[in-house]
Structure 1
Amino acid sequence: MDKKLKQLLKQANSLDELVDLIKQVDFSEIKSTEISLIDKSIKKLSQKPEFKIAYLGNYTIEPLPSYVNVFSVSEGIIAGEYIGSYQQYFQELLNPNSPLINYNPDLIYLDISLRELQPKIYYEYSSLSLDERKNSLNFIISHISDWLKVAVNQTSANILISNFLQPNFYQTGIADLNQEYGESEFYLELNLELLRLLKKESRVHLFDIERLASRFGKEQVQNAKMYYIAKMEWRENFLPTIARELIRYIKAIKGYTKKCLVLDLDNTLWGGVVGEEGVMGIKIGQGDPVSEAFLEFQRKIKTIKDRGILLAICSKNNINDALEAFEKRPEMPLKKSDFSAMEINWERKHENLQKIASTLNIGTDSLVFIDDNPAECSLVTQMMPEVKTILLPSDPATYSGLLDQLNEFEKIQILQDDLSKATQYIQNKQREDHKQQIGDMTSYLQSLGTEIKIWEATEEDLPRVHQLFSKTNQFNLTTIRYSMAEVEEFFRDGNYDLTVVSAHDNFGEIGIIALYLVDLREKPYLLIDSLIMSCRAMGRGIETAIVNHLKTKYLTNYPEIQLSATYIPTKKNKPVVDFFEQQGFEVVEKEETGTKKYILKSESAKLIDSSWIKIIA
């Protein structure tokens, strides 16, 4: 590392200044002492960590945590670490007063070295009988399964468990592939069994280090000398790759997934300028390298959409020329219908990005914008720093790989609600057009034929419940971000009422769009702990119907019961600042921060008209 940069990193006076300096660091040749220096500067300038990670294993894990801390702060996340004692990953869980349990991590990362756990498999596989090989596999899976049961019961953490590397060279050489239960088959089955085991738990996930090592270059990931000296499993230049993969999980767990990918058109979705070269002159499809590169890029974008990410267009162009390209170039994988919003005009792009966010009813910080024009990207970055803006390189052959490198669209799970999201936004556009045709709001609401179904959450609903807690900002009265473990605890605890709401109307299914959590522990004084609804369901009275349901369920015919609630203001939940007042709740306390506390007694619990909504409960 450059001496001047190293000195500046030491002398940084603020976290923002440090992050700007970190962006100048070349991590491809960085040394562990330099990473440690940056990590120490982060700890000196930051408050307590917002995301705590426990690193467990049976080899020397350092300095991986320092890499994770440095990369995470660049993503706006202050990570902290607990490094488990060597080979003590089981014992530390079994002791209720262990440092690990007291640390209360948000994430546990477990990486087990097979040469430590089962040395005979690693060193003497060719000498083992068929039964010994299969028994060893069963032992490894049982060992991890037993550890996992304890970890799930003893902690509320999300859990990542690494799989195992296929050997670079089989002990019997190429003959292994023709042997009965050779090494290749053993490792394939081991990793598949591990994957199947981990899929059974909603907050447990596989960390695919085998894939990372293959991508990095397997012969470069391990250093025999360092293993013999210090029991270090991984070569240090592989650690940034592991750390960046961990960041993907951290961002997904924290709900930092962006919601919309916004794209330019000319020299972004296709080669050339459609207004100058004409529809048939732009490059997209088979036949030449440039056209095929843009074809692959569009295919890659399509896979992003399949994760439940919205697509939008922001382009300075003649709208008729642009739309004609989608109509007359059928070889394009992306169709007009794939885009949930379009701003194709000659206005400034940062203004059009604001319109796109408004159309989709999401924050501008939920956008990723890709463009080939440096001036446009620079202006958007200046005017909208919250938007992740990406300037495309000059070679379109690199575009698809650039999308692979993004971690903004990672999700722990892709739910049915994600898969139907683009369709739901198209339906919302149809609803808006219908509203404009009718003109009268009352008639419009009655014409929608909205039905909502309300039921106590089932185990299958919990991933969607967690997603609503993690990602809903506007209609979220308290914005408490409960972890998956906490959601599971509410589900199991009879002292809480965790209820979900789905909706559909004449335009289609809207999916599970709302939930409420009522704390029943202090009867007859009940607390509405959380009331959350997806922004795409706002503005049609569903929220009033839900509160009417709560009033009927808990207050009608129960004069002794009293409902209390809280509104905690954030930058994004201003749309519900007066929601409880509108529903008849009485403000009993208001703090300088804007936090308000409410009560609603049985005699005041009047139902508010939402007769255009049919409730199925």
Structure 2
Amino acid sequence: MKENRQKTLELALRDPFLVSHDTHSLQKLAKIFSKTNLSLEKLSTDKRVALCGGFMTKFLAEILPLFFLQRGISPTLYESEYGSFQQDIINKESELSSFNPELVVFFPTHRDLRFIPPTGASNSIVENCLGREIDFWMNLLKNIDAPTILFTFDPPLTRRLGEVDGLKPGGFLNYIRSVNTRLASDAPGHIKLIDTEQLCASVGETLWHDQRLYHMAKQPMSMDALPIIANSIAASASAILGKARKVLVLDLDNTLWGGIIGDDGLDGITLGPETSDGESFIEFQKYLKSLSERGIVLAVCSKNSKEIALQPFREHGAMVLQEADFPVFVANYKDKATNIRAIAKTLNVGLDTVVFADDSPVECALVRKQLPEVWVVELAGDPSEFIRCLDHFIPFPVASLTEEDFARSASYQSLNAVHSELQETTDIEGFLRDLKPVAILEYVRDDTVERMSQLIAKTNQFKLNPNTFSTSELRKKSSEVLAFRLKDRLQDYGIVSVIVTETDYDADALILRNWVMSCRVFSRRLEFLIREKISETAIEKGLSRLRLEYLQSGRNDLICDLLPALGFSESKMPNWFEADSISPKNLPPHFIALEEAPS
């Protein structure tokens, strides 16, 4: 019986549609988890998470760990007492401060607004109230240093100006929307907002609000709303902490179009405005295109000959997606689990970053069984529901969007071109030289700090240890941060490596608190140029040693082999490595020119 319960829990945590379970079922799973010995070492990253709400958060906190675990995060939760979040945040001696959270979830409601204008107030009065409101909340948020998920203020159940309450200056809903818009505009970089009004709309107002429950237990939203709230929190947390998925592998037949291209031919597939299904497939392709444009990598995995699979992309006038939108296009007759492994290897990503969408129950079952790390979405039935089906569980949450995100698909295309040429060439050094690579030393600026923080959080393979740094922390350490942009004759890859250092004059050492590098630039020898720059920085400070902490995660094993090549050897302290500040003389040539960006 116990083994069955544990199996049920494991299957639930691998299910991308955990959010579709009702709250009662989730509470049962939470109880199973509290009594199980489920091994989480490989499943998750430990994080201290503080939950501060303007309401009683007991029921939310009960199921929230399940959604964190589903996304690879094992939380230790702290809950603020009801009505005490303001004191908790401001008081540096509070239990919240002692807990030292690595992530804060802050969920006020419209009942917590401080300067609500009177009904029918003039524009000038509303603006005055709005200014005071924003000042209050921004001053409160300044007391939170950790990465923070902030819920915007929810819409009220009753509208004091009736159906125009959201449109007129004296309306309460209008005021709430104005506050939310200003918060979205003015919140510091380490604050990630969740659009509560959108959540409310997705649940439905009648299911969101529960006045009776609020009067009984001080929880204003219904129990039915909790799964969607918990899923939104965990999705945002995964984006902030670098655990979000970033690759969508797609089938073709009955997924991007209706019918089977190999059997039905180009004229026989369903795609285009002539039919409702054909129009639905167009809308689905537009949705997928929008994912690609914000940095989600699309790949094809189809049981077809490649020539036939490519025919709609090259010849069908209604196709929205083009061949160039897929950095990896696999069409053959191998099983899809094998092909997905190959796709992940080509993209240099882990299987736990992959979502697979297919219409075939058999193919979906095979991938679920053989690749449990992959999230599998069965797109069966009405194609008009495909977008809702995929988007419902928030597979690709956004913490921030940077230049590198918008250029990621093109970057992987260039990466594949480089890898293909590398495999064919016999003169690797000549090839690397001919790429004419240039590294640009970047500084912490308003236009770079988001990407630096994002890269440190999201990188898994070339990463010394789990230490992450919020945008506010990087600003404070700006003089100790080295970041590198890489470009070559193919493209500008953006900021691809960040090193956060610390000067320890007592130990005569420059400490590398963390060093990360994007998998997109592996094999480009950038790490050797960076080693030279680190040496130069240490010598300029008059330091003779370099020190770093390397913690194996199961994903960053390549560091183990690289450290000796960079001149590092194990020190007497466990997990710590040291090197002379002078670079080893036998570093391989990198052929990368170094430039410096404006500070």
Q: Same fold (TM over 0.5)?
A: yes
Aligned-partner residue type, residue 481 of structure 1: N
Does residue 340 of structure 1 match 2:331?
Answer: no
TM-superposition CA deviations, 1:453-486 (whole Å, max 9, x none): 124433432222222222222222x2323141xx
Match of 1:479 among 465, 479, 489: 465
Aligned-partner residue type, residue 268 of structure 2: G
2:560 is matched with 577
Alignment of 1:518-529 (within 5 A): 518-523=501-506, 524-529=508-513
- When residues 412 and 25 of structure 1 are mapped into structure 2, their CA distance, relative to the original with a 3 A threshold, is closer
Aligned counterparts of 1:66 and 1:397: Cα–Cα separation in 2: 35
Aligned counterparts of 1:541 and 1:134: Cα–Cα separation in 2: 55
Alignment of 1:93-112 (within 5 A): 93-112=89-108
TM-superposition CA deviations, 1:543-592 (whole Å, max 9, x none): 1111122233434895x61223444333222333222322334444596x
Does residue 53 of structure 1 match 2:42?
Answer: no
TM-superposition CA deviations, 1:218-269 (whole Å, max 9, x none): 1332222333334331122222221221121122122111221111111111
Shift of 1:40: 4.3
SS at match of 1:460: coil
- When residues 351 and 177 of structure 1 are mapped into structure 2, their CA distance, relative to the original with a 3 A threshold, is closer
Match of 2:577 among 597, 601, 604: 597
1:173 is matched with 162
Aligned counterparts of 1:28 and 1:37: Cα–Cα separation in 2: 11
TM-superposition CA deviations, 1:266-312 (whole Å, max 9, x none): 11111111111111211111111221121111111111112201111
Does residue 516 of structure 1 match 2:510?
Answer: no
Shift of 1:601: 5.3
TM-superposition CA deviations, 1:139-161 (whole Å, max 9, x none): 43232122112x23xx4242413
Aligned counterparts of 2:30 and 2:93: Cα–Cα separation in 1: 28
Does residue 242 of structure 1 match 2:225?
Answer: no
Aligned counterparts of 2:420 and 2:106: Cα–Cα separation in 1: 52
Contact map agreement 1:279 1:321 (CA 8 A) in 2: no
2:453 is matched with 466
Shift of 1:62: 2.9
Aligned counterparts of 1:557 and 1:169: Cα–Cα separation in 2: 63
Contact map agreement 1:449 1:506 (CA 8 A) in 2: yes
SS at match of 1:426: helix
2:490 is matched with 507
Aligned counterparts of 2:564 and 2:332: Cα–Cα separation in 1: 42
Identity of aligned residues (%): 26
Aligned-partner residue type, residue 587 of structure 2: I
* Bigger Rg over Cα: 1
Shift of 1:437: 5.8
Alignment of 1:429-440 (within 5 A): 429-435=416-422, 438-440=425-427
Return 466-475 or 446-455, whichever deviates more: 466-475
Contact map agreement 2:538 2:581 (CA 8 A) in 1: no
Does residue 606 of structure 1 match 2:589?
Answer: no
Aligned counterparts of 2:550 and 2:214: Cα–Cα separation in 1: 55
Unaligned runs of 5+ in 1: 1-7
1:187 is matched with 176
Aligned counterparts of 1:337 and 1:131: Cα–Cα separation in 2: 52
Aligned counterparts of 1:177 and 1:367: Cα–Cα separation in 2: 40
Contact map agreement 1:457 1:491 (CA 8 A) in 2: yes
Shift of 1:175: 6.3
- When residues 233 and 309 of structure 1 are mapped into structure 2, their CA distance, relative to the original with a 3 A threshold, is same
Aligned-partner residue type, residue 536 of structure 2: T
- When residues 475 and 66 of structure 1 are mapped into structure 2, their CA distance, relative to the original with a 3 A threshold, is same
SS at match of 1:294: helix
- When residues 521 and 301 of structure 1 are mapped into structure 2, their CA distance, relative to the original with a 3 A threshold, is same
2:312 is matched with 325
Match of 2:535 among 551, 558, 571: 551
TM-superposition CA deviations, 1:319-352 (whole Å, max 9, x none): 1111121111121110001000011111222222
Aligned counterparts of 1:26 and 1:513: Cα–Cα separation in 2: 34
Contact map agreement 2:104 2:147 (CA 8 A) in 1: yes
Aligned counterparts of 1:226 and 1:611: Cα–Cα separation in 2: 65
1:39 is matched with 30
SS at match of 1:577: helix
Does residue 303 of structure 1 match 2:283?
Answer: no
Does residue 616 of structure 1 match 2:599?
Answer: no
2:336 is matched with 349
- When residues 55 and 446 of structure 1 are mapped into structure 2, their CA distance, relative to the original with a 3 A threshold, is closer
SS at match of 2:447: helix
Contact map agreement 1:580 1:598 (CA 8 A) in 2: no
Aligned counterparts of 1:614 and 1:527: Cα–Cα separation in 2: 25
Aligned counterparts of 1:25 and 1:324: Cα–Cα separation in 2: 37
TM-score (norm 1): 0.86
Match of 1:143 among 136, 144, 148: 136
- When residues 103 and 404 of structure 1 are mapped into structure 2, their CA distance, relative to the original with a 3 A threshold, is same
- Root mean square deviation of aligned Cα: 3.1
- When residues 143 and 288 of structure 1 are mapped into structure 2, their CA distance, relative to the original with a 3 A threshold, is same
Aligned counterparts of 1:137 and 1:257: Cα–Cα separation in 2: 35
Aligned counterparts of 1:448 and 1:586: Cα–Cα separation in 2: 32
Aligned counterparts of 1:527 and 1:471: Cα–Cα separation in 2: 22
Does residue 67 of structure 1 match 2:57?
Answer: no
Match of 2:520 among 536, 542, 559: 536
Aligned counterparts of 2:472 and 2:114: Cα–Cα separation in 1: 35
Contact map agreement 1:551 1:607 (CA 8 A) in 2: no
2:78 is matched with 82
Contact map agreement 1:564 1:600 (CA 8 A) in 2: no
- When residues 370 and 187 of structure 1 are mapped into structure 2, their CA distance, relative to the original with a 3 A threshold, is same
Contact map agreement 1:586 1:600 (CA 8 A) in 2: no
Contact map agreement 1:163 1:194 (CA 8 A) in 2: no
Shift of 1:183: 4.2
- When residues 340 and 250 of structure 1 are mapped into structure 2, their CA distance, relative to the original with a 3 A threshold, is same
Residues matched between the structures, number: 588
Aligned counterparts of 1:612 and 1:512: Cα–Cα separation in 2: 18
Shift of 1:81: 2.7
Does residue 18 of structure 1 match 2:5?
Answer: no
Aligned counterparts of 2:209 and 2:495: Cα–Cα separation in 1: 46
Alignment of 1:258-407 (within 5 A): 258-407=245-394
Aligned counterparts of 1:26 and 1:504: Cα–Cα separation in 2: 41
TM-superposition CA deviations, 1:393-451 (whole Å, max 9, x none): 22222111112113231120111101111111111233234445653112212211111
1:161 is matched with 151
Match of 2:119 among 122, 125, 128: 125
1:5 is matched with none
Structure number with the bigger relative contact order (C-alpha 8 A, sep ≥ 6) is 2
Shift of 1:53: 3.1
Aligned-partner residue type, residue 139 of structure 2: D
Shift of 1:607: 6.3
- When residues 488 and 610 of structure 1 are mapped into structure 2, their CA distance, relative to the original with a 3 A threshold, is farther
Contact map agreement 2:154 2:200 (CA 8 A) in 1: no
Aligned counterparts of 2:492 and 2:304: Cα–Cα separation in 1: 34
Aligned-partner residue type, residue 145 of structure 1: M
Contact map agreement 1:84 1:100 (CA 8 A) in 2: yes
1:197 is matched with 186
1:561 is matched with 544
